[in-house]
Amino acid sequence: MLFHVRMDVHLPETLDPAERADIVAREKAYSQKLQRAGKWPHLWRIVGEYSNISIFDVESNDELHELISGLPLFPYMDIRVMPLATHPSKI
């Protein structure tokens, strides 16, 4: 199952710089693990924002929820998920 996911990150300005660096490093490692496993085949930065557009390829809604909620930045994100289906005009 393919999903289009938009993630907007809102880190608090009061977050300790060392804690911020740790969370961002853990986020990068976790996301790269999912990319290497083929679960997160596309990841794009949205220019000018601390946001991304991603495509996830997972077995179920529950798997997607588990992967997204495992993101270290999850508590600081607004997330919008759109399930994708094959377009009838696709060749």
- Mean residue pLDDT of the chain comes to 97
Band the pLDDT of 85: cuts 50, 70, 90.
very high
Mean pLDDT, rounded, for 68-83: 98
**What is 2-84's CATH number?**
3.30.70.1060
pLDDT for position 66:
98
**Global confidence as pTM:** 0.92
Q: Helix-strand-coil percent breakdown of the chain, rounded to 5?
A: 35, 30, 35
Give tens-digit pLDDT for 22-65: 999 999 999 999 999 999 999 999 999 999 999 999 999 999 99
Q: Any idea where the domains of the chain sit in the sequence?
A: 2-84
> What does the block give as tokens for 74?
């999850």
pLDDT for position 77:
98
